[in-house]
């Protein structure tokens, strides 16, 4: 039985905890706020020495990811590590030893819909693409004041560029490296935030000469889709409806975004590397893209 340690027990940490438990793993957690005798620790070093995990998941605030990962990398035992997205608050130089395997939680790669879309675009010439992800932040977590979440706080790693970086990740996964041209971003709503609630990115990708990416916390309708125009057809992937339209044909897919956490957990537990897991190197490159975007003039 694999021993799994979850570091941080916010909403995403609890999701990982339940997921790995459902797979039969022995799961413990580190939390400063939630303590249950026998299964929890208040400090990472105590958990490492007393529980001796095989797998560690970093699910605390983004601003704490770097220090937590450094502590895990200094542990003498080989570990498999999953860092919840985004990798860090800001890009950082970090050497990952050979005996440690680090992945980052871009679990949407496990959607059968996106995997099929990846196969489709690989065999076509893409002319342009529009990536959209928008929903209303106060509706994200039932019963929780959005103003108290990491999403709303710059020092905790919030803002749409980091919080919605899934969409940046799968865009690069599908279309190749993104080269940004310009960005319009800011806090345009009346939400009580100190981070950007909207980002409109104009760019190109390695395999797409014209690319727009639109991210926001403000859409009351909740939409998440990719509209990709190719030289021979148009592809439209609706991640909420779980459908892929190719020309005049619409295909429905099984499985939800929630199911991707289970598939990601199975991949982490498996001794065979999955091509759908985001590597440390890929996630670090994505973080450099975010840093590049933040330095651009916000037109």
Domain boundary among 49, 79, 104: 104
What's the pLDDT at 256? 86
**Same domain? 49 vs 90:** yes
**Same domain? 82 vs 115:** no
Distance of CA 112 to the CA centre of its chain: 17
260 inside domain: no
**Same domain? 166 vs 60:** no
CATH number of the domain where residue 91 is located: 3.40.50.720
267 inside domain: no
Question: Which tokens is 203 given?
Answer: 């760019």
What's the pLDDT at 129? 98
**Same domain? 116 vs 41:** no
**Same domain? 94 vs 142:** no
**Same domain? 129 vs 239:** yes
pLDDT digits (tens, 9 = 90+) for 41-73: 999 999 999 999 999 999 999 889 999 999 999
258 inside domain: no
pLDDT digits (tens, 9 = 90+) for 132-180: 999 999 999 888 898 988 888 888 878 999 999 999 999 999 999 999 9
The C-alpha atoms of residue 170 and residue 218 are separated, in whole angstroms, by: 21
Is 23 exposed, middle or buried (CB count within 10 Å of its CB: 0-12, 13-18, 19+)? middle
Q: In which residue ranges of the chain is pLDDT below 50?
A: none
Q: Which domain holds residue 82?
A: 3-104
**Same domain? 142 vs 224:** yes
3-state secondary structure of 163: helix
Beta strands in the chain (DSSP E): 3-7, 26-30, 40-41, 55-58, 79-83, 100-104, 126-136, 178-186, 198-205, 208-216, 218-230, 234-238, 243-246, 249-252, 278-279
CATH number of the domain where residue 136 is located: 3.30.360.10
195 inside domain: yes
**Same domain? 236 vs 283:** yes
What's the pLDDT at 297? 75
What's the pLDDT at 37? 59
The C-alpha atoms of residue 100 and residue 74 are separated, in whole angstroms, by: 10
Number of domains in the chain: 2
What's the pLDDT at 296? 85
Domain boundary among 64, 87, 104: 104
Establish whether the linkage from the previous residue to 15 is cis, with ω within 30° of 0. Answer: no
What's the pLDDT at 95? 76
170 inside domain: yes
What's the pLDDT at 157? 79
What's the pLDDT at 148? 87
**Same domain? 52 vs 75:** yes
Question: Which tokens is 285 given?
Answer: 């490159």
**Same domain? 186 vs 282:** yes
**Same domain? 59 vs 121:** no
- pTM of full prediction above 0.85: yes
Domain boundary among 69, 104, 139: 104
256 inside domain: no
**Same domain? 155 vs 281:** yes
């Amino acid at each position: 039985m694999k021993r799994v340690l979850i570091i941080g027990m916010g909403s995403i940490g609890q999701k990982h905890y339940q997921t790995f438990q459902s797979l039969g793993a022995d799961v413990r957690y580190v939390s400063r706020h939630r303590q249950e005798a026998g299964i929890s620790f208040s400090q990472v070093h105590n958990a490492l020495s007393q529980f001796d995990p095989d797998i560690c998941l970093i699910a605390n605030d983004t601003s704490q990811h770097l220090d937590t990962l450094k502590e895990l990398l200094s542990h003498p035992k080989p570990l498999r590590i999953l860092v919840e997205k985004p990798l860090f608050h800001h890009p950082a130089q970090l050497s990952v030893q050979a005996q440690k395997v680090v992945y980052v939680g871009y679990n949407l790669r496990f959607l059968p819909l996106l995997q099929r879309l990846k196969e489709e675009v690989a065999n076509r010439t893409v002319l342009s693409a529009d990536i959209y992800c928008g929903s209303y932040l106060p509706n994200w977590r039932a019963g929780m004041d959005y103003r108290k979440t990491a999403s709303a706080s710059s020092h905790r790693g919030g803002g749409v560029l980091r919080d919605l970086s899934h969409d940046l990740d799968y865009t690069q996964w599908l279309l190749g490296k993104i080269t940004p041209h310009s960005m319009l971003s800011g806090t345009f709503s009346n939400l009580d935030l100190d981070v950007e609630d909207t980002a409109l990115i104009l760019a190109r990708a390695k395999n797409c000469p014209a690319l727009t990416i639109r991210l926001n916390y403000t859409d009351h309708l909740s939409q998440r889709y990719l509209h990709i125009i190719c030289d021979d057809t148009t592809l439209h992937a609706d991640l909420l409806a779980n459908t892929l339209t190719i020309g005049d044909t619409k295909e429905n897919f099984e499985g939800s975004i929630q199911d991707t956490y289970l598939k990601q957990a199975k991949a982490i537990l498996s001794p065979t590397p999955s091509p759908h897991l985001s590597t440390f190197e890929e996630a670090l490159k994505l973080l450099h893209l975010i840093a590049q975007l933040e330095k651009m003039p916000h037109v």
